Amino acid sequence: MGVCYIVGAGDCTELSINKNKDDLIIAADGGYRYLINANISPDLIIGDFDSLGDIPDGENVIRLNPVKDITDMDAAMQIGIEKSYSEFHIYGACGGRIDHTLANIQLVASAASKDMKAFIHDGKTVITALSNGSIEFTNNYKGYISVFSHSDECTGVTIKGLKYPLENAVLSNKFPLGVSNEFIGCESEISIANGILILVYNAT
């Protein structure tokens, strides 16, 4: 199975989408404008279209009732899941209203809890989540990475090969102990035994 790309209406300075035949591109409301400006045709367009301002034409358009319990981004991800995608790359998910940014981070955490991968791309920043597993980085990575407990507690948190290591630590969502770690030119790894970690990578 390929990758599901979702483009929302938040800030989007750059789209890095190289579609393969098994990939799916979904425009969530105002994200349609970003795709059109980048000469990328979405496979599906979904939303209540309050951000876009009008309703696109086409059989691939799904109009949502503006009175709903989920965001347009959530609806787009649910379609991807229904189509059996398990890796999501999301653009236009940050900036603007902070409540929507937080909602999109929760979507990433929810994906991790279901053994799926989701990445929010915001310029040089990538946000993802890790649940009961590990993620490895090559020695080519540069910049900063922060880890935050999305669960009440994350136990068995181990960080190797970064400037500030941890060994079998407990992180709480009430204190940002894992903020602003650094890559130091080594292979590195972040792992967690139980819980959901939010990872924020800022490239330099």
Structure confidence by residue, pLDDT tens digits, 45-101 = 999 888 888 888 888 999 988 888 899 999 999 999 999 999 999 999 998 789 999
Phi, psi (deg, nearest 5) at residue 98:
-65, -30
Q: Which segments of the chain belong to CATH 2.60.120.320? A: 130-202
Write down the pTM of the prediction: 0.94
**Spelled out in words, what is the top-level CATH class assigned to the domain 4-123?**
alpha beta
Instruction: Specify the CATH superfamily of domain 130-202.
Output: Thiamin pyrophosphokinase, thiamin-binding domain (2.60.120.320)
Token pair listed for 31: 């994200």
Q: Which segments of the chain belong to CATH 3.40.50.10240? A: 4-123
Could you give the CA distance from residue 27 to residue 6 in angstroms, rounded to a whole number?
A: 6
pLDDT value, residue 106: 97
Helix intervals (H) in the chain? 31-37, 72-82, 98-113
Strands 153-160 and 188-191: antiparallel
Please name every residue paired with 25 in a beta bridge, in sequence order, or none if there are none.
5
Could you give the CA distance from residue 109 to residue 107 in angstroms, rounded to a whole number?
A: 5
- Mean local confidence (pLDDT), 11-39: 93
